[in-house]
Amino acid sequence: MSDVDGQSAIFLSYAHADKARAQRLAAALEQAGYTVWWDALIEGGSRFTQSIDEALERADAVIVLWSRSAVDSDWVRDEASIARDRRRLVPVSLDGCTPPLGFRQYQTINFAHERGRAQAAEFQSVLRAVEVAINQAPAKPGPVSDAPLSRRMALALAGGATVAAIGGVATWRGDLLSGGRTEGSLAVLGFKNLSGDPSQDYLSAGLTEQVRTALSRVPALKVLAATSSEAGKSAGGPKEIAGKLGVENLLDGSIQRLGERVRVAVTLTDGRTGFAKWSQSLDRQLTDIFAFQSEIARLVAGAMSVQMATDEPVTGGTRNVRAYEEYLKGRALYLAAKDEASDRQAMAHYEVALGADPNFALAHAALSRVLASLAASRADSSELKGLYDRAIDEANKAVQIAPKLAEGQLALGYALFSGRLDMKAARPAYDKAAKFGAGDADILLLYGLFVVRLRRFVEARDTIGRALALDPLNPRTWRAAGMIDLYSGRPREAVPRLDRALALNPSMSNAHALKGYALILLGQWDEARKALDREPTPMFRLAGLAILAGKIADPALAQSSFDELVAEEGDAALYQQAQVLAQSGRSSEALDRLERARIVGDAGLTALATDPFMAPLAKEPRYRALVRSIGFA
């Protein structure tokens, strides 16, 4: 956006408590030759939010004034999120507070020592950052002199201590999704199995993932997640793979088992040139595998001239060869996500692993996840309580053995939330998982889905944005992003994210249905019907069709879809039945279903407080009591 004279326009985002400082900074920027938009400029009688939205979308750069008040403002967070996604963000600190999650990776301009001179380094940093954001200098720069600014302007340009001087405003997420390459970015490609025995593939796959996990603990590295890394392997040579994945570096290797010893060769490749930067071969006993992966991570970090956060081996491991092998076999089956039989076979491998080493925390966490997954998607109502009780027990064992194991904390939070429907009990575990697994896309994904249920919408969108940056080729991550938009009241934004998920995996469960739900909310009936007809999971398809039929006045379709939902799914779909009844105006029957769902432990209730299809029940005392009982309020 430029004004009529060709000047670049800057949007100023701030909290109401900081209005005086915003006004003074606006004056300084105008003196430098920029047009500055802030909400004091809204014309009398104009629609407030529409004016802000239009100015924000058209701005050439967005300066966000972080302060303690701004961090608590949903408006500022939303505006900052849009600026970040458009790669127009220029962050400034007014009082030295830490920016919220999703913005801490950006270096922030420090105004702590500004003394009111136009040539001051801090103000010049703002101007340089704006130039980077808009890729141009101001059209009409004002005169710059050594004369002091006014006292009022000096106050505007002064603030508390902050993070650091300005660096760059290009982001990890933006660079990945736009084809750029972020400094310190790395994709770990699957290690090759050189044993000649395909049954040993689990060993190379397991080592790949454990090395990836160890490297993700290094704050200076941006480590691409497994799904996206593997998706890029077919792109061609190293330069083509790195270009497709948007990373600077590639790590690949091979593993060969020789009895109880393993030989691993690893190579770090420069993605811009295609030439190797560093390579190493190591021989170790299989019993040293968890220390081995940390050693590889340390060597890679050294080759990339970054500092390891810790030299300790990845927490939660084992030195028992049989336990480790059984864990890897179970993990390979679980990640394949084929069917109930493969999940139960994975569970059996985890149980054998724990029989060999009862203190193997990763195996306890993995067993908890598969038990909870079976309960959530494949078990009938009579099995739910037993499966969830076991899942909670296994997760508790994992965190007791290894309190800083992110997978253990995540398993505990998921089992408590989905199994006990206890939001308050689950929250500390989820928060710890997010802390200990900050570089893990899967943990970020599940944390984002958790906090959106808490109505922490901006944080949920920030979190899934970080997950997308680490795993941009994973359909599960895009589906979660669409779900978060849907639950945040943004169905229009949900549709393209779900389209992206389906482009990556056209047959994935629930994505077509979620798109159909969003289109229903947008009133696009024909497109909603097409999406719902493509949904492979009957529970979600039938619920959506029944709701849609009510909107388009097709009572025959509504009744047949609802009857089929009840007949085929029974108590496993109590929540979906309640959605249909709520949308058809049968509130009392909907509440009956929800209360029964609470008794049997239907995990669908985890969406109760943010589900747009439950909106007709919002004022009902029984609904409010149910929401409180789960811990949403």
Per-residue DSSP letters for 264-312? EEEEEEETTT--EEEEEEEEEEGGGHHHHHHHHHHHHHHHTT---S--S
Q: Is the pLDDT of residue 620 over 60?
A: yes
Question: Given this model, what pLDDT does residue 476 score?
Answer: 87
Q: Which residue has the higher pLDDT, 189 or 260?
A: 189
pLDDT band at 616 (very low <50, low <70, confident <90, very high): very high
- Point out which residues pair with 264 in neighbouring strands: 255, 282
Element (H, E) at 342: helix 340-356
CB-CB neighbours of 566 under 10 Å: 17
311 pLDDT band (50/70/90 cuts)? very low
- Of the given ranges (26-40, 335-349, 386-400, 403-417), which has the lowest mean pLDDT? 26-40
pLDDT digits (tens, 9 = 90+) for 452-495: 998 899 899 989 998 888 888 888 899 999 999 999 999 999 99
Determine the pLDDT at residue 485.
95
Q: Comparing 309 with 84, which gets the higher pLDDT?
A: 84
**Distance in angstroms (rounded) separating the CA atoms of residues 599 and 594:** 9
Neighbouring residues of 457: CB distance < 8 A, sequence distance ≥ 6? 74, 484, 487, 488, 489
Encode 389-427: b = buried (16+ Cβ within 10 Å), e = exposed. Answer: ebbbebbbbbbebbeebbbbbbbbbbbbbbbbbbbebbb
Residue 42 reports pLDDT greater than 50: no
Q: Using an 8 Å Cβ cutoff, are 476 and 514 in contact?
A: no
Q: From the CB of residue 105, how many other CB atoms can be counted at a distance below 10 Å?
A: 14
pLDDT reading at 124 higher than 80: no
Strands 247-258 and 192-193: parallel
Q: Is the pLDDT of residue 136 over 60?
A: no
| Percent of the residues in the chain that have a pLDDT greater than 90, as a whole number | 32
pTM of the predicted model as reported, rounded to 2 decimal places? 0.62
477 or 317: which leads in pLDDT: 477
pLDDT above 60 (res 343): yes
Q: How many degrees, rounded to 5, is the angle at CA 360 between CA 358 and CA 363?
A: 105
User: Which tokens go with 159?
Assistant: 């603030």
Reported as a pLDDT band with limits 50, 70 and 90, residue 51 is low
pLDDT at 188: 84
Rg (CA), the chain: 27
CA 66 remoteness from chain centre: 22
For residue 9, the cross-strand partners are: 35
* Cβ contacts of 339 within 8 Å, gap of 6 or more: none
Question: Does 118 or 463 have the greater pLDDT score?
Answer: 463
Question: Among 66-70, 516-520, 525-529, where is mean pLDDT lowest?
Answer: 66-70
What integer is the mean pLDDT of 330-351? Answer: 81
Predicted confidence at residue 293, as pLDDT, reads 66
Each residue of 193-208: pLDDT tens digit? 887 777 777 777 777 7
The predicted pLDDT at position 149 comes to: 32
pLDDT band of residue 509 (cuts 50, 70, 90) is confident
On whether the CB atoms of residues 598 and 574 are closer than 8 A, the answer is no
pLDDT mean across residues, the chain? 79
Q: Confidence class of residue 587 from pLDDT cuts 50, 70 and 90?
A: very high
- Asked which of 222-226, 386-390, 408-412 is least confident by mean pLDDT, the reply is 222-226
Contact at 8 Å (CB) between 188 and 135? no
